[in-house]
Structure 1
Amino acid sequence: MPQFPSGAAIPMSVVDVLRAAAGLQPKVRASFCWGRCVRGTYAPSDQAKEITRSRSFTMPSRVLARFSADGVSANAVDIDGCSLRGFSFRLGSGDQLSDIVTQSVPVHFARTLDQMLAFLQARMPGPDGKPDMARVEAFSAANPETLRQASYLAANPPPASLAYTTYWGVHAFPATNARGETRFIKFKVAPVGDERRPSEHAATAKSTGLLRDLDSRIAARDVRFSVMALLDRPGDPVMDVTIRWPDEDGREAVRLGTIVITGTEPNGACEASVFNPANLAEGIGHPPDEIFAARRDAYAISQTERR
């Protein structure tokens, strides 16, 4: 039986192994290494103040954002929906900025930093450039929760277009409103009017590739998202990002506002202004889970190494 790492992992070791497992160079992003930097606007809903007093969510602002995908090249079609997509965005202005990092699956692939490091090391390529599948299977059997992300993606492949994908923040964020009331929320970012889009949109995306499709839809002013807050219930798990809240798809959600993507930006604009999930304006607190604490450090490390 192969021996898997144990003990205290650190964010830097995870960043290094992420790059090594994917065969990436030191100054390349450790994950979601290609994407498109974009700009837009955010308009809050009348309900936003009931959830949070954070001015980044209750006031109109400009938006800097980045669409991305893991595991495929920039012009890939991804017709089988196997890639994990990402959508990171910054709301607010001045000292009231919030960076929100979301992805196309509502769970993470590891519960703790140690487990995340072991997951990646089990998949490190061998001398033949391929991972040892016996080692991967042994690790998965001992850590079944690490399969939930891939299982969800296999059962729910995203649309062919980045613009029509639904994105989740996998963490539970404590949100405090103007009355001082605090509850946990999860972010869900859903395309506006997705249910009304004809099937030929998907056909167009499949024929052009992810980024070219996105660029054409931005030019047509056809990229807008509702920023939703899923509301907690007593007993919801807030420390484990590998599991969803019970009946998460059917529970109450409040629309915080709408993001409209209006144009593209040079990729350097997103590189210079890293989306660090630790950047949250007062009224949205840091989630209590271990992965969030590691992620905020890993993002800073990854940017520093790329400079």
Structure 2
Amino acid sequence: MFDDDRLPPLNASAMVLRFGIIGAVLACSVGAFAYTGGWLSPDRLTPARIVAGFEQASGSHPGFRRNHAKGLCATGTFESRGAAAQISKAALFAPGRVPLVARVAFAGGMPFVQDTPAQVRSLALRFLPEGRQEWRTGMINIPVFPVTTVRDFYDQAQAMLPDPATGKPDPAKMQAFVASHPGFAAAGALIGRRQITSGFADTTYNAIHTFRFVAADGAVTPVRWSAVPLDPVVPADATGSGADPNALFDALIARAASRPVQWRLMLTLGQPDDTIDPSKPWAPDRRQVEAGLVTLDRVVAEDGGPCTDVTYDPLVLPDGIESSGDEILAARSSTYARSLRLRDGEQGQKARSAVTPREVVGRGRQ
């Protein structure tokens, strides 16, 4: 566990450097954690205003997602072990196999960004039990969210806005934000210590938020979950991705063509008094349950792919899983919907995705 009192003092320049990655996570990679209308009245920071802010930061890219813009679709299955059925009555946790549609992506609003290992990666899953309620979840490869509330998110995003004169954040503004948000430094230390792996297939993805699992007898358990890879973890090459602008995606395409990519879906069971604050970890001794195995056996280009018109809204939940009341969940839901409406109206303007169908087929044959 991280102790705030152990943080060394930072000057303003070092602080901006140290927390730059956190700013990227907030301003670009987890941009869907935005605001629903009226929460901060009279400011009225609506999803429309937040989406406009993402476009200001990343440029206008009609037809693309405003966040997690560069990605691939995939299809596969979830095979339940039956262990999670003890804590949730959701049908998909009964022993058996259900189909799923996934999306693997980089965080951020730039659909043609060059692949680099340090970019925040995401794995989104849509579980589709036949004739039953579906479940959608989005996970990223950081252990916690850097801030606690929607208000914190807004304050941090303002602090990280580039100064027009320098093109970089103002160190004084960032220093003031950190001083007024003591939990930010602790979350930043956890994020900074995360392991950066060689590719999508050997990455652990975390859902970050807390949910309530409801059992058949009505018992409620707070739960967080992660997708833990079966592939051996290989540290990223510090030299980056080289000349191939789609290096990590191309590696995933080739990998999936040779054998399925798999993760264990691990549930961490909380105690009734555990925090729902997404910026704070739970105690490491919390019990874990392996809910089942996620298998992706086919990678598909996003242009015309099965995940293209899907929002991985974290509040699309089956009976047996409920929101914890974390306000950021509702904000994500409303902003995803706004982004989808815009994309639907822009399809005639959309450029080809960075990873094309031809590239998927060609790399898969190697």
Normalising by structure 1, we get a TM-score of: 0.85
Partners of 1:297 and 1:146 lie apart in 2 by 25
**Is structure 2 residue 167 aligned with structure 1 residue 167?**
no
Q: State the AA in 1 paired with 2:289.
A: V
User: In the TM superposition, what is the alpha-carbon distance from 1:149 to its structure 2 partner?
Assistant: 4.7
- Distance of aligned partners of 1:53 and 1:220 in 2 relative to their CA distance in 1, 3 Å threshold: same
Residue 255 of structure 1 is matched in structure 2 by 290
The match for 1:224 is 262
Which letter maps to 1:253?
Q
| Residue 75 (structure 2) aligns with | 39
User: Which segment is superposed worse, 210-219 or 6-15?
Assistant: 6-15
Equivalences for residues 242-281 of structure 1 within 5 A? 242-247=279-284, 250-267=285-302, 268=304, 269-281=306-318
* Correspondences of 1:76-91 after superposition (within 5 Å): 76-79=114-117, 81=118, 83-91=119-127
The aligned counterpart of 2:249 is 211
- 1:284 to 1:298, Cα distance in 2 relative to 1, 3 A: same
The structure-2 alpha-carbon separation of the partners of 1:122 and 1:251, relative to structure 1 and needing over 3 Å to count, comes to same
The answer to whether structure 1 residue 115 and structure 2 residue 157 are counterparts is no
1:110–1:242 contact (8 Å) kept in structure 2: yes
Partner in structure 2 of residue 141 of structure 1: 179
Distance 1:272 1:143 in 2: 37
**In the aligned structure 2, how far is the partner of 1:164 from the partner of 1:264?**
16
**Residue of structure 1 equivalent to 2:26:** none
CA deviation after TM superposition for structure 1 residue 62, in Å: 0.9
Percent identity, aligned pairs only, is 26
Task: Give the superposition deviation at 1:278.
Answer: 1.4
* Among candidates 53, 62, 65, match of residue 99 of structure 2: 62
Find the aligned partners of 1:227 and 1:31 in 2 and give their Cα distance. Answer: 24
Provide structure 1 residue ranges, at least 5 long, that are not aligned to the other structure: 1-5
One-letter code of the match for 2:291?
L
CA change 1:300–1:184 in 2 (3 A) is: same
Alpha-carbon offset, residue 116 of structure 1: 1.2
Contact 1:13 1:117 in 2 (8 A): no
Larger radius of gyration: 2
Give 2:56's aligned amino acid: A
Give per-residue Cα distances to partners, 1:108-146, cap 9 Å, x unaligned.
122111221222222223334433333223222222333
Number of residue pairs aligned between Structure 1 and Structure 2 = 294
Name 2:224's counterpart in structure 1.
186
1:78–1:160 Cα contact (<8 Å) kept: no
The amino acid of 1:170's aligned partner reads I
The residue aligned with 1:299 is: 336
Give the match's secondary structure for 1:156.
coil
Q: Provide, for residues 44-69 of structure 1, a one-character-per-residue CA deviation record: whole Å limited to 9, x for no partner.
A: 00212112111133342111001112
Displacement after TM superposition at 1:148 (Å): 4.5
* Offset at residue 244 of structure 1 (A): 0.9
Displacement of 1:182 after TM fit?
1.4
Question: Residues 236-274 of structure 1, C-alpha deviation per residue, up to 9 Å, x if partnerless?
Answer: 112x11111122xx4211011101111112314322122
Shift of 1:25: 3.8
Match of 2:56 in 1: 20
Q: Residues of 2 paired with 1:201 and 1:144: CA distance?
A: 31
What amino acid is aligned across from residue 161 of structure 2 in structure 1? M
Aligned-partner residue type, residue 16 of structure 1: A
Q: Residues of 1 paired with 2:97 and 2:189: CA distance?
A: 37
The one-letter amino acid of 1:124's match is L
Alpha-carbon separation, structure 2, partners of 1:136 and 1:24: 26
Normalised by the length of structure 2, the TM-score is: 0.72
**By how many angstroms is 1:188 displaced?**
1.1
Cα distance change on mapping 1:234 and 1:140 into 2, 3 Å: same
Partner AA of 2:325 in structure 1: P
Partner SS, residue 168 of structure 2: coil
1:171 to partner: Cα distance: 1.1
The answer as to whether partners of 1:185 and 1:229 remain within 8 angstroms in 2 is yes
Q: Does 1:155 align with 2:193?
A: yes
